[in-house]
Amino acid sequence: MYPLLEVRLVRPLILEKDSIIMSKDETLLYCSNCQKKVNWHVKPVNHSRHLIIAICTLGMWLPAWLGLSLLKLKYCDHCESTLSGD
């Protein structure tokens, strides 16, 4: 009965899907260890391990924990070494 209203409701979902596809960055990065362009991945931060270290160091590990959580280091799919550049 109201086709225009239907389109407006469906559209945001489609746009959201597109942005997810676009944000999936599949560009290759040069790995100095493999000496070629490689696929890479971002490792999830092991928060439970960082919590234990933070407790052991009486909170002195907290800045490092925060830094590692924000940095999102890229790792080579082949040799697991960190990749520099963007």
Pick the binder of Zn ion from 31, 40, 65, 74 (CB under 5 A). Answer: 31
Least separation in angstroms between residue 43's CB and Zn ion is 14
How far apart CA 47 and CA 59 sit, in angstroms, is 14
Nearest to 65 by CA among 53, 83, 56: 53
Asked if 3 contacts 11 with a C-beta cutoff of 8 angstroms, the reply is no
79 binds Zn ion (CB under 5 A): yes
Q: Which of 17, 42, 78, 84 binds Zn ion (CB under 5 A)?
A: 78
Structure tokens at 57: 């160091």
Residue 34 in contact with Zn ion, rule: CB under 5 A: yes
Q: Using CB under 5 A, list all residues that contact Zn ion.
A: 31, 33-34, 76, 78-79
